[in-house]
């Protein structure tokens, strides 16, 4: 009885910058999809743009939640999701 041994090839990984670009593209696509889904379902969503945290309501109006002064002061996910 003969067994075959599968050959495994060593392939050099992609440059980390290329991998980061791929992850960024996936993130942007997921973000666009989530915003479109929220609009379709009539749900508000929060996003950050130009140093500001903005909540967009189903009617399209926008509400400034806060201005971010520094990256270290970026709000936690819990703070953004648990607003009354």
| Same domain assignment for residues 33 and 59 | no
* Residue numbers of the domain that contains 38: 14-43
Which pLDDT score, from 0 to 100, does residue 78 have? 65
pTM of the predicted structure, to 2 decimals: 0.56
Evaluate if residue 1 carries a pLDDT over 70. Answer: no
pLDDT: is 65 or 75 the higher one? 65
Q: What are phi and psi of 45, to 5 degrees?
A: -145, 155
Number of domains into which the chain is organized: 2
| Same domain assignment for residues 53 and 81 | yes
Evaluate if residue 69 carries a pLDDT over 90. Answer: no
| Same domain assignment for residues 24 and 55 | no
Q: Are 53 and 66 in contact (CB under 8 A)?
A: yes
| Same domain assignment for residues 61 and 39 | no
| Same domain assignment for residues 38 and 50 | no
| Same domain assignment for residues 50 and 77 | yes
For 16-64, write each residue's pLDDT tens digit: 556 777 778 888 899 999 999 999 999 999 988 888 899 999 999 999 9
Task: Tell me whether residue 9 is in a domain.
Answer: no
Q: Are 38 and 44 in contact (CB under 8 A)?
A: yes
62-67 β-sheet, strand order: 45-49, 52-56, 62-67
| Same domain assignment for residues 49 and 81 | yes
């Amino acid at each position: 009885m003969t067994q075959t041994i599968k050959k495994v090839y060593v392939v050099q990984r992609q440059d980390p910058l290329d991998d980061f670009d791929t992850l960024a593209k996936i993130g942007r696509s997921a973000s666009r999809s989530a915003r479109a889904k929220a609009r379709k379902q009539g749900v508000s969503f929060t996003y950050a743009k130009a140093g500001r945290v903005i909540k967009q309501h189903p009617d399209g109006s926008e509400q400034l939640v806060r201005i971010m002064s520094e990256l270290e002061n970026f709000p936690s996910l819990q703070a953004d999701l648990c607003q009354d």
